[in-house]
Amino acid sequence: MKADLVIIGGGPAGMSAAVAAYDAGIRDIIILERDKSLGGILRQCIHNGFGLHRFKEELTGPEYAYRYELQVRERNIPFKLNTMVLDITPSKVVTAMNSEDGLFTIEAKAIILAMGCRERPKGALNICGRRPAGIFTAGTAQKFVNMNGYMPGKKVVILGSGDIGLIMARRMTLEGAEVKAVCELMPYSGGLARNIEQCLNDFSIPLMLSHTVVEIHGKERVTGVTIAKVDERRKPIPKTKQYIECDTLLLSVGLLPENELTKSANIILDRITGGAVVDQNRQTEIEGIFACGNVLHVHDLVDYVSEEAEIAGKAAAAFINGKHANDKSLKLVTDGKVRYTVPQCITACADVTVYFRVADVYRDVRIVVRDGDKVLVNKKKQKVAPGEMETVTLTKEMIEGVSTDTLSFSIEA
């Protein structure tokens, strides 16, 4: 089989990229999705708050996904469901399988990686104790409750205050569980302020900052956890240990871009984002292979995923049509307070919005972009935090005028 464009993943990034590539004139597209329907993780995110930027109204996850599914269907863009991609090569051969076609390969002119991300599992946490039933990632619990209608437990402790953990604290409470506490290792929450308000405060669920779970109790089933306060170096303080009786521990301790396929094509990954290194078109170092959405870096809002996927879709179309300018070569470097940028490099003179995250909470600071000693951007911010992605837009004129080969991003007092 051959195709102009293969899109791996039928979630919000994959669907939005497909629509953008189609609207830029590409017809020979195929979306490969491993689940039984399009929509990706949005299918289980039944809460509202999606789409305020894109659609100027507040949608639930399934509604947001359906808007894009309709756009895919209206254009008759082909997709294969229940299809697992096993391998991609640097020469853009995609190997996949499903129960109808068996094992098959597609030679693609361009590939868009849109595989999304995965939750950091318990194995990555080094918590003492046995391995009883009752420990779930927040997303797994979300799938059980929202898709299957099963409650994973009755008395719950949540470790990590990422948005999925906060959302699940409310969801489990509404369904009759008692959520005893949300413990967060850091002195601040990684979740949105609105979610702390409407998911925890509304139900008087305590958020215990600078706390972690040090031991899980129970043999067959979780019977409780021991939590402790941590010091500035995030080491548990023994005398602050306390026992909380519970039958369920949910983990909301971070998301990791799912890049096994990217690695199989030998594409270089950014050590910080866990996603590919890309240019302003979201093209990886291999020409014709693009990445967008949470597989590239974890986003705060699906609206931004859709936006980024459109960039990748349009750029893939331009690449397939042989219209791909490379008239600049800039590396974006960071000072450590800015942890990473996406894109990591700029290869053409165009308006470019750079997305980045900071390493800590900083107040009354400036976001500064420099070309050597020359300041290009100097943007005041009352507060920046790791949980909130920041953006800076560089104009075509600014990029044209850059005299060195790097742009440095920093947070300054």
Partner 1 sequence: MIRELTCIVCPKGCQLKVELEGKNILSVSGYTCKRGLAYAETECTAPMRTLTTTAPVEGGGVVPVKTDKPVPKELLFKCMEVVNSACVAKDAKLGDVVVENILDTGANIVTTRNVQL
In a 3-state reduction of DSSP, which class is residue 384? strand
Sign of CA dihedral 174, 175, 176, 177: negative
Q: How far is the CB of 87 from partner 1 (least distance, A)?
A: 28
In a 3-state reduction of DSSP, which class is residue 227? strand
Q: What share of the chain is helix, strand, coil (3-state, %, to 5)?
A: 25, 35, 40
CA distances from 93 to 77, 86, 321 (A): 20, 11, 19
Q: How far is the CB of 72 from partner 1 (least distance, A)?
A: 14
Q: How far is the CB of 379 from partner 1 (least distance, A)?
A: 17
Based on CB atoms, which residue is closest to partner 1, 53 or 130? 53
Q: How far is the CB of 251 from partner 1 (least distance, A)?
A: 22
Q: How far is the CB of 289 from partner 1 (least distance, A)?
A: 30
Based on CB atoms, which residue is closest to partner 1, 89 or 198? 198
Based on CB atoms, which residue is closest to partner 1, 142 or 212? 142
**C-beta neighbour count of 276 within 10 angstroms:** 29
Q: How far is the CB of 32 from partner 1 (least distance, A)?
A: 17
Q: In what order do the strands lie in the sheet with 362-371?
A: 345-346, 330-334, 406-412, 362-371, 374-384
- Cα 379 to Cα 365: distance, rounded to the nearest angstrom: 8
Based on CB atoms, which residue is closest to partner 1, 47 or 370? 47
Q: How far is the CB of 216 from partner 1 (least distance, A)?
A: 29
Per-residue tokens: 178: 């008692």
Per-residue tokens: 277: 């290194």
- Cα 112 to Cα 220: distance, rounded to the nearest angstrom: 44
Sign of CA dihedral 53, 54, 58, 60: negative
Q: Roughly what angle, to the nearest 10 degrees, separates helices 61-74 and 12-23?
A: 30
Based on CB atoms, which residue is closest to partner 1, 70 or 268? 70
- Cα 382 to Cα 378: distance, rounded to the nearest angstrom: 13
Based on CB atoms, which residue is closest to partner 1, 45 or 311? 45
Based on CB atoms, which residue is closest to partner 1, 132 or 386? 386
Q: Residues interacting with partner 1, by CB under 8 A?
A: 36-37, 43, 46-49, 52, 58, 60, 62-63, 66, 145-149, 171, 174-175, 192-194, 196-198, 202, 300-301
Helix locations, 258-301, DSSP H: 260-264
